[in-house]
Amino acid sequence: MASIELVLPTYFAIRVAVGFNRWGVVADVTYITLVAFLMWQNSPLYLLSLPFYLAVVAIGGVFRNYAGLASALSISGVYLMFQQPTYLKGLGFLFAILAPAALVATVRDRGSLEGFFRYLVVSTFASSFLFIGLGQRSTAMGEAFILMAVALELGVAPMFLWVPDVYGRTHPAGLAILASLPKLSATFALLAIRPETPAVLFYALGALSMAVGNLGALTSVEPRRILAYSTVTHTGFAIFIYPIAPEVTLALVLADAFGKMGLFYALNTGTYRWTTRILVLHQIGLPPLFGFWPKAALVILVAEKMGTVYALYVLANIVAMAPYYFRLMEVITEGRDVFPAAVGIIIAAIGVTAPLWFIYHVSSLL
């Protein structure tokens, strides 16, 4: 803890001194690297920090120069959640999920402002649930409140209604951040705090989320709502596997964070056709892209630990994503923006060079 007490104020002072320009980006990237080193000190685990690096340049509009600061504060929150004192876990959760939220209103249109305030209400409830749960740890009620806090932030059914509501009205430029960093941070909270609730509750919430998310996406037309409901499906996968393999939960949300960041950015600016195909196939989970490996581990582990029927249910929900993602692929316009292309290259590189060993190394967090 002593390291972050020194590093965070130093970073903030440097950030204020250099201003919001290219030197500010250098300060942001340097700080994110330092925090990643303090957390993991193991090079393969730096891959978990990649969405925070990407977020530095994943935003446009009036707040583009603040994206790095928001990303730096968010990863600081992740670091704090893994500390022992209870109050630091709660403070870290606030930092991690709320710091990127201000970027939702990046273009200042009415829909984005409405989405921003709706998300703040949701995050306020989630944070309140977490603090209530942390204050009553080791009791059934306390553990349930912790799970509710994380589930609400992730958009797990039946607490998912805010996701299509907020995503459906917010500009894609802001959703590139909202659909990635807070979701990944909430998953880190799940691993750092570890609510001790019955496994059957995770299975029920996960199974319901898969079905609801796919049904909503299959019946939606607007691209942002399709991606919103697909987020519910992906969080369903992540919650379902948590009692069996928490490291696979993290890998599933990490893969979805990459995909959503690239797809929402592409919805805003357009991108190369090959990039769109990579992002879509990654989200569906086709090899050798990164999205394939955690989904493969999900199906294999469920079959091994729970039986064929449950594995077939999970597999059916993975297959059900294909129609609406292929439909989405036709909607994204062609352009020449390099950011989605960079995300696509990262997804392909991780998938080809680091399949199952990545999940193995993530388990060292636990």
Higher pLDDT: 365 or 51? It is 51
Residue-wise pLDDT for 48-91, tens only, equals: 888 998 888 877 666 677 888 888 889 999 999 998 888 889 98
pLDDT at position 16: 81
pLDDT digits (tens, 9 = 90+) for 131-148: 999 989 888 899 999 999
Task: Summarize the confidence of residues 175-191 as an average pLDDT.
Answer: 89
What's the pLDDT at 173? Answer: 80
- Least confident piece of the model among 103-107, 217-221, 248-252: 103-107
pTM score: 0.91
At 271, is the secondary structure helix, strand, or coil? strand
Sign of CA dihedral 252, 257, 260, 266: negative
Per-residue pLDDT at 45 exceeds 80: no
Per residue in 289-317, pLDDT (tens digit) is 999 999 999 999 999 999 999 999 999 99
* Contact yes or no for 239/249 (Cβ under 8 A): yes
Mean pLDDT calculated for residue range 247-276: 91
Distance CA 90, CA 82 (A): 10
CA dihedral for 274, 61, 36, 126, sign (positive or negative): negative
Query: In this model, does residue 117 exceed pLDDT 80?
Result: yes
3-state secondary structure of 334: strand
First to last CA, the chain: 19
Residue 43, pLDDT > 80, answer no
Does residue 366 have a pLDDT over 50? no
Mean pLDDT of 254-277: 91
pLDDT of residue 25: 83
* Domain residue extents for the chain: 198-365
Is pLDDT at 163 greater than 70 in this prediction? yes
Q: Is the pLDDT of residue 26 over 50?
A: yes
